[in-house]
């Protein structure tokens, strides 16, 4: 498997930091606003998948590989985890086996068979290695990852015993041959990486989640057929209680008395880390410590998250399934597979940073004194210093500080308010003045301190536009209004959805309107003067035309008379 177990969909990851807040080991790196799981730090608890509100985290699917193995004609054998009845609701394992065979599986068995062996092996180890007390159970791969990566000094306390999945896988290989394709089906995503561990590889070929199998059933239309009775694989009944708290101790035949100081049972990562801290400090006096990363046990694994009902309902289903079963013989010790496994220190070195480097990062988010460090945890880290160190490590971004970003946003808002040449007035839903820009204070000739909380009518007597925007939500854009006797403005009013606020931006156009009025008056005067001049010109032209007409007539008479005389005097 080349892909990481946990996959992030960048399109869905929306800068909320919720996965960072809930990750117990802070294995989430935020880069360019995207949350990325760091495999070298991740313990595969699946918390980020559970808590992501946008469903941006998903698990690598083994289904295509399993389908290919079936298509290739291999003997595909299923090992089904003991928590399966809580997820699928079957009453007899034969119901699950029949459904799996419809998908193409050659056979199916309960992982509880391997759980029996592992439980007894733990009891043997505790009895024989008192020098390793308290012995930490090794069945939960998340706990193993946690110890190898964050508590490597406690590796000597880990029982060197494989998990039920690997034990059963090795039994199945013995039974069906080395060419068999073994598929583990369970509620745990950490199993996908466990099957690749150097000391355990080869026993199981693929690890599928209950959710993946349920999707496959749905895709093919397969449903469980209820059976009244069936012949079940050999197993001891107590192993079917393995997925609940105290399941391993019960399978091992040890006391499940909660008041027994020699045996400690805990679930949930926070509790488990507290116990590991006690072991590290030498403060825990116990022989065996059963740790389960998921609260309530495997019945609350990450692939059980979409199951209807809570932990108690799942627990009850497992107990009822256990009560319906008869007791079968255990696999003889002579047939046990090799149960040994090794561990290694996988702790990533954490670089150290000087106090000045840390203070430098803190100053970038306006944290100059200890009082400035709110330690609110909104970024996902327990303190501002932890977040500063994460920033230096490249795991976090400066902008992840929400109080700083809010302050920064408010300061930017104030800059806009301060430098805007237009007058900005912010009102509440009752049209009370909440804020004014300096230009608005200048325009209306009154400071914000005097007007804050006062009704807008104190500034703008005709405020019907504000009422309309508040009641309808329809903005007023570019409307020319006479604000009062002295001010004319181009007015824009909008409602801020979800905050019960109105914002009014006014551009003072009083001078422009005055100039416009003067221009109109001048144009009117000029037009009237032009008309008067034209009237006078027309009168003069008329008079000239009249005079020219009389003179022309007289000239015509004289010329005609002279021509006549000349004609009369001409010699004959």
The answer, yes or no, to whether residue 119 has pLDDT greater than 70, is: yes
Last residue of a domain, one of 481, 508, 535: 508
Which structure tokens are listed for 327?
């007791």
Beta bridge partner(s), residue 108: 78
Last residue of a domain, one of 374, 406, 438: 406
Query: Tell me, what's the pLDDT at 294?
Result: 95
Count of domains forming the chain? 4
Same domain, 11 and 105: no
Distance of alpha carbon 96 from alpha carbon 88, whole angstroms: 9
Q: Which tens digits make up the pLDDT trace of 482-510?
A: 888 788 888 999 998 767 789 999 988 88
Same domain, 109 and 199: yes
Distance of alpha carbon 563 from alpha carbon 58, whole angstroms: 123
Same domain, 265 and 130: yes
Residue 361 lies in a domain: yes
CA R_g for the chain:
44
Query: Tell me, what's the pLDDT at 535?
Result: 77
Q: Which residue has the tokens 């009850």?
A: 316
Same domain, 24 and 143: no
Query: Tell me, what's the pLDDT at 306?
Result: 65
229-244 mean pLDDT: 64
275-289 mean pLDDT: 95
Query: Packing angle between helix 93-103 and helix 210-220, nearest 10 degrees?
Result: 60
162-169 mean pLDDT: 96
Between residues 233 and 504, the one the model is more confident about = 504
Residue 551 lies in a domain: no
The answer, yes or no, to whether residue 237 has pLDDT greater than 60, is: no
Of 142-156, 158-172, 280-294, 516-530, the range with the lowest mean pLDDT is 516-530
Residue 171 lies in a domain: yes
**Alpha-carbon distance values, 112 to 45, 186, 239 (Å):** 22, 12, 5
Residue 400 lies in a domain: yes
Between residues 438 and 545, the one the model is more confident about = 438
To the nearest whole number, what is the mean pLDDT of the chain?
87
* Closest C-alpha among 455, 451, 460 to residue 431: 455
Query: Tell me, what's the pLDDT at 32?
Result: 86
Same domain, 135 and 167: yes
Query: Tell me, what's the pLDDT at 568?
Result: 59
Same domain, 129 and 11: no
Between residues 546 and 52, the one the model is more confident about = 52
Residue 513 lies in a domain: no
The answer, yes or no, to whether residue 64 has pLDDT greater than 80, is: yes
Residue 523 lies in a domain: no
* Cβ atoms within 10 Å of 281's Cβ, excluding its own: 8
Per-residue confidence at 534, pLDDT binned at 50, 70, 90?
A: confident
Alpha helices in 84-227 (DSSP H): 84-88, 93-103, 112-128, 141-150, 164-176, 191-194, 210-220
Of 77-86, 140-149, 299-308, 529-538, the range with the lowest mean pLDDT is 529-538
CATH for 200 = 3.40.950.10
Of 28-37, 358-367, 546-555, the range with the lowest mean pLDDT is 546-555
CA 121 to chain centre: 42
**Left if phi > 0, otherwise alpha if psi is -120 to 50, otherwise beta: which for 290?**
beta
The answer, yes or no, to whether residue 449 has pLDDT greater than 80, is: yes
Residue 540 lies in a domain: no
Query: Tell me, what's the pLDDT at 550?
Result: 64
Beta bridge partner(s), residue 494: 503
CATH for 398 = 1.10.15
Distance of alpha carbon 272 from alpha carbon 245, whole angstroms: 13
Residue 411 lies in a domain: no
Same domain, 388 and 313: no
CATH for 500 = 3.30.450.20
Distance of alpha carbon 258 from alpha carbon 239, whole angstroms: 19
Of 39-53, 162-176, 488-502, 551-565, the range with the lowest mean pLDDT is 551-565
**Left if phi > 0, otherwise alpha if psi is -120 to 50, otherwise beta: which for 194?**
alpha
Last residue of a domain, one of 335, 361, 390: 335
Contacts of 444 (CB under 8 A, 6+ apart): 423, 436, 451, 459, 487
565-571 LR contacts (CB < 8 Å, sep 24+) = none
Q: What is the rounded end-to-end Cα distance, in angstroms, of the chain? A: 143
Same domain, 309 and 370: no
Query: Tell me, what's the pLDDT at 162?
Result: 97
Q: Which residue has the tokens 């059933």?
A: 217
Same domain, 315 and 385: no
Identify the domain containing residue 147 by its residue range. 61-335
Same domain, 274 and 286: yes
CATH for 4 = 3.30.70.20
The answer, yes or no, to whether residue 566 has pLDDT greater than 70, is: no
Same domain, 103 and 42: no
Between residues 32 and 28, the one the model is more confident about = 28
Same domain, 385 and 489: no
Q: Which tens digits make up the pLDDT trace of 357-399?
A: 999 999 999 899 999 899 999 999 999 999 999 999 999 998 8
């Amino acid at each position: 498997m080349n892909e990481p177990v946990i996959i992030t969909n960048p399109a869905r990851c929306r800068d909320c930091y919720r996965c960072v807040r809930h990750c117990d080991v802070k294995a989430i790196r935020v880069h360019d606003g995207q949350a990325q799981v760091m495999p070298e730090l991740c313990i595969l608890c699946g918390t980020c998948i559970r808590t992501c509100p946008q469903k941006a985290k998903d698990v690598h699917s083994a289904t295509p590989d399993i389908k290919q193995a079936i298509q290739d004609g291999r003997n595909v054998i299923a090992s089904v985890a003991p928590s399966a009845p809580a997820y699928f609701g079957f009453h007899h394992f034969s119901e699950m086996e029949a459904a799996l065979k419809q998908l193409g599986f050659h056979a199916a068995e309960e992982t509880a068979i391997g759980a029996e062996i592992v439980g007894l092996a733990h009891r043997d180890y505790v009895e024989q290695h008192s020098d390793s007390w308290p012995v930490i159970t090794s069945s939960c791969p998340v706990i193993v990852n946690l110890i190898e990566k964050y508590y490597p000094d406690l590796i000597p306390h880990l029982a060197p015993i494989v998990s039920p999945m690997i034990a059963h896988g090795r039994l199945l290989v013995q039974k069906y041959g080395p060419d068999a394709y073994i598929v583990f089906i369970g509620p745990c995503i950490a199993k996908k990486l466990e099957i690749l561990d150097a000391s355990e590889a080869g026993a199981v070929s693929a690890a599928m989640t209950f959710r993946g199998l349920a999707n496959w059933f749905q895709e093919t239309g397969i449903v469980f057929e209820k059976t009244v009775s069936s012949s079940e694989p050999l197993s001891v009944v107590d192993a079917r209680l393995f997925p609940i708290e105290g399941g391993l101790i019960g399978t091992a035949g040890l006391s499940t008395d909660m008041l027994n100081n020699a045996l400690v049972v805990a679930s949930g990562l926070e509790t488990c880390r507290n116990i590991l801290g006690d072991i590290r400090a030498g403060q825990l006096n116990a022989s065996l410590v059963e740790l389960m990363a998921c609260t309530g046990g495997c019945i609350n694994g990450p692939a059980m998250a979409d199951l209807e009902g809570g932990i108690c309902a799942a627990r009850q289903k497992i107990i009822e399934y256990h009560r319906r079963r008869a007791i079968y013989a255990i696999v003889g010790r002579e047939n046990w597979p090799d149960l040994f496994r090794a561990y290694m220190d996988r702790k990533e070195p954490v670089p150290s940073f000087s106090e000045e480097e840390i203070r430098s990062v803190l100053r970038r988010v306006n944290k100059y004194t200890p009082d400035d460090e709110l330690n609110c945890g909104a970024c996902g880290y327990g303190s501002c210093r932890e977040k500063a160190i994460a920033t230096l490590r490249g795991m976090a971004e400066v902008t992840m500080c929400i109080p700083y970003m809010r302050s920064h946003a408010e300061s930017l808002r104030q800059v806009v308010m301060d430098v805007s040449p237009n007058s900005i007035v912010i009102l509440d839903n009752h049209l009370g003045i909440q804020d004014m820009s300096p230009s608005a204070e200048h325009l209306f000739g009154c400071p914000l301190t005097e007007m804050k909380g006062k009704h807008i009518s104190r500034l703008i007597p005709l405020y019907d536009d504000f009422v309309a925007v508040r009641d309808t939500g329809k903005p007023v854009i570019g409307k020319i209004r006479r604000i009062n006797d002295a001010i004319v403005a181009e007015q824009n009013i909008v409602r801020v959805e979800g905050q019960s606020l109105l914002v009014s931006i006014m551009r003072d156009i009083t001078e422009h309107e005055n100039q416009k009025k003067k221009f109109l008056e001048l144009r009117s005067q000029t037009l009237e003067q032009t008309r008067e001049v034209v009237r006078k010109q027309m009168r003069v032209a008329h008079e000239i035309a009249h005079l020219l007409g009389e003179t022309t007539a007289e000239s015509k008479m004289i010329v005609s008379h002279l021509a006549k005389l000349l004609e009369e005097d001409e010699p004959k």
